Amino acid sequence: MILRLLILFVVLFAMLSVHCANLISEDTAQPNPTAGTLFFKKQVFPILKKRCFECHSHESGEINGGLALDSRSGWELGGDSGPAIVPGETKQSLIIETIRYGNVDLQMPPDGKLPESEIILLEKWVAMGAPDPRRTDPVISKKGIDIEAGRKHWAFQPVRVPKVPDVTETNWPLDEIDSFLLAKLELDQLHPADDTNRYTWLRRISLDLTGLPPTPQEIEAFIADSSDDAYARVADRLLDSRAYGERWARHWLDLTGYADQIGTANKVYAEYGWRYRDYLIDAFNSDKPFNQFIREQIAGDLLPGTVEERAAAITATGFLLLDNIEVGESDKMKLVVDVVDQQLIKVGTAFLGMTLGCARCHDHKFDPISQNEYYALAGIFMSTDSTHKVKYGVWSGIRSAQLPETTAQQTERDLKTQKHNKQLTTWIQTRAAIRKKADALEKESDERKKLEAQIPNLNRNIQHAEFFVPTAPRAYAVGDVEKPSDMRITIRGNPHALGEVVPRGFLKVISYSPPNKIPANQSGRLELANWIASPQNPLTARVTVNRIWQKLFGEGLVRSSDYFGLRGESPSHPDLLDFLAHRFVQNGWSQRKLIRSLVLSRAYRMGGTYNPQAVAKDPENRLLWRIAPQRLDAESLRDSLLLVAGTLQPSSGGPALALEYPENVSGLGPNNVNPPSFHLNKYHPGQKSQRTIYLPILRSGAQPAPAELRNLFDFTQPAEIAGQRPITTVPTQALFLMNSSEIKKRAAELAARTATLDGKPIEPSKRIEKLWLLTYSRPISKEEKAETLNFLNSQTDTQSAWTDLCHVLLASNEFLMRL
Amino acid sequence: MQLRTLLELMLLIFPPKPSESFFCSWGGGPSQPDLFDPKDYIKKMHGQKVTPPIKDHQLRTGVEKFLALAPGVPVRPRGNCGMMISDLMPNLASVADDLCMLRAMQADSKSHPTATLQMHTGVITEARPSLGSWIGYGLGSENNNLPGFLTIHPQADVRTYGSGFLPASFQGTPLTVPKDNNTPAIKYLTDNESDDTKQRSRLKLLQGMNLRLLERYQRDTQMEGIISSFELAYRMQVATPELVDISAESKETLNLYGIGSGPTDRNGKACLLARRLSEAGVRFIQVTIDGWDHHGNIRSALPHSCKGSDQPVAALITDLKRRGMLDDTLVIWTGEFGRSPWSQDLSGTSPIATHGREHQQESFCTILAGAGVKPGITYGETDDFGFLPVAGKVHLHDLHATILHLLGLDHKRLTHRHAGRDFRLTDVYGRVVKEILA
């Protein structure tokens, strides 16, 4: 802290121009101006005004770097770099260092050094004790965060248990959810859209829950099922399928920055990343309670459990690590604080719908989160071990941990190791034998050359096998550092410019009960996880149910689903949101139960037809008077193409990168200054026909060929933490659908698989019916049938006519969209 | 330090109103101590240890000895303005009086991917809108058959031409100089398997089915959007081949760009294509040219890189000028960072003649030309090493602010509301470098 001068100097500023009069307050209580204030008035103020106010005054609207120079308190409090002036101490005053251009990173004014005469005047002024009669402006005094005022925001208030509203159309609701929706519609004299037909509903729920359209058999079974629980049976069948986990795990991955690559440089592979992806699929398939899901991802390494539970929970902490970590950063302190920042941003966005990163350099501009609170949370991650220096050049790696193994796993690994060693020994022996044989031959002989030509390949295999020795299963996982401690503020995120120490803790504005104390010898992640996973936390359940709602109804009840702060959107149905949040917690944080209730609601059965009256009153469908059609996301689109073409291969997970092939890895030599890197030359057998979630994800965002349509159809790039994907329409998508070999291949496969039945050719009209059922999940209409037969007959080449028809179906809106 | 064998020179071009503009940049870290910012002190100390004011929290590999490395080829004053340009760039030297050299550029990252991303988007990580997207967002498009932002031979990282949180219609579309008539300039642009008649009959059936579905729903913006995207795609398919066909250009023009054979062919075609696209009203064009990451053997490798790009880039300036386009076109040419005045030797045992140079974001050179920029000036100065700026420092954010200013956009007002916050290209930074404005 600097010493404040006790006296407010007083002077009349008769010379000042009118428009600064409001900035320089006069205090007429003390009539005698001192020499200091006169000096300020005559010599200093004109310089400040001319040279600094453009970027550092309220008058100009610019308070760059948080520093205002239009009041005394402005420089006393200083900006992001601390107080600008220490009265009487020129050497310690940042403003003097800055105008002297003493620090190349902070030179003011930026567009050229001041004349020496002006610098001398300012130095003299600071040496005098910086007399400055301008009164403290309350506007810019460092404001504290007003927690009570902050709590007035709807999202920070405790979740209420709202009463289910009464409705007039009592036979419409199937669930309480419907009553909440209908009540609001009735208030605006609107009607929910008529139920859609069963075909559309089945296709909708299948795509939403599994990312795949229903098969003809599934369609027939549902249409034939006239029992009361036909709908529920479908929901349960889908929720029981592995495909459900495969789809919803991908939704979660959008919030993690996941890729099979570490950082963006040099294709450094994340060889254990897939374990986290598989953990997520399992978590959804086993309906892991969401509060446990939170605890495992933030503090799984600190949780007790059986061998399998421990392995899963440790793997879950990959959430904190599988992000865009620039391991090539040469400034290691910067790497550490940047990783902490990423972890904080991710935890804030994914679980709390808050933009915590905004408070890194200053108090949050809109939300009641202080810079100190950022560092209170950051200290928890600062006490967490995430990266470490590796032997290559300037590079770091991300932390991994050995997973507890069951006896069965150990036995399996021993067998694998034996096999591996045997193969390696064989290669080494073969190489030696070849060398020996070759050495015995004449130097330039063809025979010798032929023998020696085998050696490079063997060398590569041996080097690869020596590098990739079978080990116990590992996963990217965090741990606590040896000596957990509180963190110091980093000024503007610069780890070499440190401010005060901030004790670890949580956000006050959403703490309604005293959080558990962080033990001195621990990071505090477990306490953080429990604080987030608490029913008292007003954000966690609301944010989560809103994310699920968004995935089923297209948009969230709160449309800014990643941001519930003051600048976020208000909920369209606040009571419904709280009702769902409360029910979610009551149901043991079960995502499956929540999803089931939503897809079985009456609202989810609505059609999508346009309604001019409803549009006039509610053009954005905020009240949910219909289910709007929606284009499939990249994964659904590709997976559906594979499914209807009959080429989709099942998978039970496993490594995304086929590192076992030597041609896929380079840079294994011991003296490399760069870590080994991967090259996607070869895939696992069948991998290219597996669901998109099993394919490698690259940090560059240029996703590789088997699923390159991700590059065109709004795939969430691994650099983003975003719970909602935009749905964009650009001509390059149309070009893909018109001309790509991918779409043509699928069309040819679809044509081929519908050509015959039990080895006999199908007659055209039956074949068309089958095509419609496969692609549109509904029977073909008469009109369509006539038009299609007409198209087929107009083509000269029958073979290609069918492929062309399939191509058209796969590129058409009814296939591309979920209606 | 990271090694990458292929690096790039980037050239971005955009013709906006009221002035048009080309943004050219060298990626990969072209060596400014060899090309534009030679220092007597380094020359004097060649092969000997120097002690630059380096902060000790940066890890470095292969530069621990800090041996001064003088340029292998002379760097001389050029034109009437006396701008310093190496003999390795004779063509660029001949247009020196049209150029504006920023010699104290600065960025924030020493690593290619992050620095390259920052050059294009202002930030080191994340997926923010790129410069071309911001400009399209600010100025709109001029051509109905083509996207407003094309990027020729772009970086692998799609974020360098991505639209981030801006609508996807503002993203860059990658374009390749076609090797032959069968290779499309834009991915999936042509149907290689069937003829035009067939494609049209497919499209007719497709659009018919799409319209019938739309009728069922009466109105739906997404369905309507997809229907019109097919129409635009078809127009692109027709318009692009004509545009990328350079056979109509005069022999003299082809020679000017070095098109035909040799190391200048590929880049020459890219630069000529850039001019043609600019004429057609594409707002922002970017060309990437590989090969500037000289960690070793810079004295033998740099001449090769220069050879491939010197003539094409100078030709672009000359061509624009004689067509009267340079006055309303901004050309910017820059790397994502520069290289160190001292040598790098990864083996630790090689003779100085075979050393390379390490990345340097503390200072590097950027060249501007055209609309609104003072021609024939050198702005900014570095210390005796050629390491830290001592005057006229221009941070990348300042360059971005200046580019937007030259296009009539205020970098502080060109904002987009996202996740509760107004974002801009220059974040909370950026200063228009008024000193270089004409």
pLDDT digits (tens, 9 = 90+) for A83-106: 888 888 888 888 888 888 877 667
Mean pLDDT is lowest, of A141-145, A223-227, B155-159, B400-404, for A141-145
Contact B215, B207 (CB under 8 A): no
Cβ of A700 and B157 within 8 Å? yes
In chain A, what residues touch B232 (CB-CB under 8 Å)? 731, 734
- Categorize the per-residue pLDDT at A547 as very low, low, confident or very high, splitting at 50, 70 and 90: very high
Cβ of A808 and B206 within 8 Å? yes
Kindly identify which residue of chain B lies nearest to residue A671, measuring between CA atoms: B347
Q: Which of residues 141-170 of A touch B (CB under 8 A)?
A: none
DSSP class of residue A3?
A: P
Q: Smallest Cα–Cα separation from B37: which of B437, B431, B391, B295?
A: B391
User: In the predicted model, what is the mean pLDDT of residues A302-318?
Assistant: 97
Q: What is the CA radius of gyration of chain B?
A: 23
**Angle separating helix axes A764-776 and A216-224, nearest 10 degrees:** 80
Cα gap B422→B416, rounded to integer Å: 5
User: In the predicted model, what is the mean pLDDT of residues A809-817?
Assistant: 97
Cα gap B69→B49, rounded to integer Å: 10
Percent of chain A with pLDDT over 70: 94
Q: Is the pLDDT of residue A229 over 50?
A: yes
**Pick from A332, A342, A737: CB nearest B59:** A332
CA distances (Å), origin A765, targets A250, A637, A762, A808 = 39, 27, 8, 17
**Angle separating helix axes A332-347 and A371-382, nearest 10 degrees:** 110
CA distances (Å), origin A623, targets A564, A615, B87 = 19, 11, 70
**Pick from B157, B205, B220: CB nearest A808:** B205
Backbone torsions φ then ψ of A774, nearest 5 degrees: -70, -45
Q: Which of residues 562-601 of A touch B (CB under 8 A)?
A: 562-563, 565-568
Cα gap A254→A252, rounded to integer Å: 5
- A725 SS3 class: coil
Percent of chain B with pLDDT over 90: 53
Average pLDDT, chain B: 87
Q: pLDDT tens, A729-763?
A: 888 999 999 999 999 999 999 999 999 988 899 99
- Categorize the per-residue pLDDT at A49 as very low, low, confident or very high, splitting at 50, 70 and 90: confident
**Pick from A263, A563, A744: CB nearest B420:** A563
In chain B, what residues touch A711 (CB-CB under 8 Å)? 158
Cβ of A673 and B220 within 8 Å? no
> Chain B within 8 Å of A107 (Cβ-Cβ)?
yes
Contact A217, A686 (CB under 8 A): no
Could you tell me where the DSSP H helices lie in A188-289? 198-210, 216-224, 230-240, 242-253, 273-285
- Categorize the per-residue pLDDT at A225 as very low, low, confident or very high, splitting at 50, 70 and 90: very high
Cβ of B2 and A714 within 8 Å? no
**CA-angle at B83, arms to B89 and B122, nearest 5°:** 80
Q: pLDDT tens, A99-138?
A: 888 776 677 887 778 888 889 999 999 998 888 888 754 3
Q: Cα dihedral angle (A721, A727, A731, A732), rounded to 10 degrees?
A: 40
Tally of CB atoms within 10 A around A756: 11
Average pLDDT, chain A: 90
Cβ of B156 and A700 within 8 Å? yes
Cβ of B114 and A265 within 8 Å? yes
Q: Is the pLDDT of residue B408 over 50?
A: yes
- Categorize the per-residue pLDDT at B18 as very low, low, confident or very high, splitting at 50, 70 and 90: very low
First and final C-alpha spacing in chain A: 63
- Categorize the per-residue pLDDT at A70 as very low, low, confident or very high, splitting at 50, 70 and 90: confident
Cβ of A629 and B223 within 8 Å? yes
In chain A, what residues touch B410 (CB-CB under 8 Å)? none
- ipTM of this predicted complex? 0.83
**CA-angle at B136, arms to B130 and B142, nearest 5°:** 145
Q: Is the pLDDT of residue A1 over 70?
A: no
Cα gap A205→A214, rounded to integer Å: 9
Contacts of A240 (CB under 8 A, 6+ apart): none
Q: Mutate which of B58, B59, B234, B412 to disrupt the A interface (most A C-beta within 10 Å)? A: B59
- Categorize the per-residue pLDDT at B113 as very low, low, confident or very high, splitting at 50, 70 and 90: confident
Give B9-175+251-436's CATH code, choosing from 3.40.109, 3.40.720, 3.40.50, 2.60.40. 3.40.720
HSE-up (13 A, CA, CB side) for residue B113: 27
Residue in this structure with the two tokens 């800090």, named with its chain if needed: B66
Q: Is the pLDDT of residue A142 over 70?
A: no
Q: pLDDT tens, B377-388?
A: 999 999 999 999
Kindly identify which residue of chain A lies nearest to residue B345, measuring between CA atoms: A673
What is the helix (H) or strand (E) element at residue A695, kind and residue range? none
**Pick from A566, A608, A719: CB nearest B125:** A719
What pLDDT is stored for residue B26 in this prediction?
Answer: 54
Q: Is the pLDDT of residue B300 over 80?
A: yes
The distance from CA A527 to its chain's CA centroid, rounded to whole angstroms, is 23
User: In the predicted model, what is the mean pLDDT of residues B408-418?
Assistant: 90
Q: Mutate which of A346, A490, A560, A729 to disrupt the B interface (most B C-beta within 10 Å)? A: A729
> Chain A within 8 Å of B236 (Cβ-Cβ)?
yes
In chain B, what residues touch A733 (CB-CB under 8 Å)? 226, 229
pLDDT: which is higher, A194 or A63: A194
- A732 SS3 class: helix
Cβ of B229 and A729 within 8 Å? yes
- The encoded tokens of residue A602 equal 């009456």
Cβ of A358 and B169 within 8 Å? no
Contacts of A402 (CB under 8 A, 6+ apart): A471, A472, A473, A474
Residue in this structure with the two tokens 């917690």, named with its chain if needed: A585
Cα gap A275→B31, rounded to integer Å: 43
Q: pLDDT tens, A604-654?
A: 999 998 899 999 999 999 999 999 999 999 999 999 999 999 999 999 999
Contact A122, A96 (CB under 8 A): yes
Q: Smallest Cα–Cα separation from B94: which of B290, B338, B438, B376?
A: B376
- The encoded tokens of residue A687 equal 């991998």
Cα gap A577→A545, rounded to integer Å: 8
> Chain A within 8 Å of B215 (Cβ-Cβ)?
no
Domain locations along chain B: 9-175+251-436, 189-244
A308-313: Cβ within 8 A, 24+ apart: A308/A406, A310/A403, A310/A404, A311/A403, A311/A404, A311/A405, A311/A473, A311/A475, A312/A279, A312/A282
What pLDDT is stored for residue B15 in this prediction?
Answer: 38
What pLDDT is stored for residue A412 in this prediction?
Answer: 93
What pLDDT is stored for residue B13 in this prediction?
Answer: 39
Q: pLDDT tens, B242-286?
A: 888 998 899 999 999 999 978 999 999 999 999 998 888 888 888
Q: Is the pLDDT of residue A308 over 50?
A: yes
- Categorize the per-residue pLDDT at A266 as very low, low, confident or very high, splitting at 50, 70 and 90: confident
Mean pLDDT is lowest, of A297-301, A365-369, A569-573, for A365-369
User: In the predicted model, what is the mean pLDDT of residues A36-46?
Assistant: 88
- Categorize the per-residue pLDDT at A238 as very low, low, confident or very high, splitting at 50, 70 and 90: very high
Size of interface A-B (CB pairs under 8 A): 235
Contact A565, A354 (CB under 8 A): yes
What pLDDT is stored for residue A143 in this prediction?
Answer: 53
Tally of CB atoms within 10 A around A473: 16
Q: Any bridge partners for residue B385, and if so which?
A: none
Percent of chain A with pLDDT over 90: 70
CA distances (Å), origin B344, targets A238, A681, B86 = 60, 32, 21
Q: pLDDT tens, A661-672?
A: 999 999 998 888
> Chain A within 8 Å of B214 (Cβ-Cβ)?
yes
Q: Is the peptide bond before A109 cis (omega within 30 degrees of 0)?
A: yes
- The encoded tokens of residue B138 equal 């600010």
pLDDT: which is higher, B204 or B164: B204
Cβ of B157 and A567 within 8 Å? no
Q: Is the pLDDT of residue A778 over 80?
A: yes
Kindly tell me the sign of the dihedral angle through the C-alpha atoms of B87, B91, B97, B100.
negative
Mean pLDDT is lowest, of B135-144, B202-211, B230-239, for B135-144
What pLDDT is stored for residue A474 in this prediction?
Answer: 96
- Categorize the per-residue pLDDT at A61 as very low, low, confident or very high, splitting at 50, 70 and 90: low
HSE-up (13 A, CA, CB side) for residue B228: 10
Contacts of A376 (CB under 8 A, 6+ apart): A502, A503, A504, A505, A506
**Pick from A328, A731, A787: CB nearest B111:** A328
Q: What is the CA radius of gyration of chain A?
A: 33
**CA-angle at A418, arms to A416 and A420, nearest 5°:** 70
Cβ of B111 and A673 within 8 Å? no
Q: Is the pLDDT of residue A217 over 70?
A: yes
Cβ of A610 and B227 within 8 Å? no
What pLDDT is stored for residue A28 in this prediction?
Answer: 36
- Categorize the per-residue pLDDT at B7 as very low, low, confident or very high, splitting at 50, 70 and 90: very low
- Categorize the per-residue pLDDT at B23 as very low, low, confident or very high, splitting at 50, 70 and 90: low
Q: Is the peptide bond before B18 cis (omega within 30 degrees of 0)?
A: yes
Cα gap B205→B200, rounded to integer Å: 9
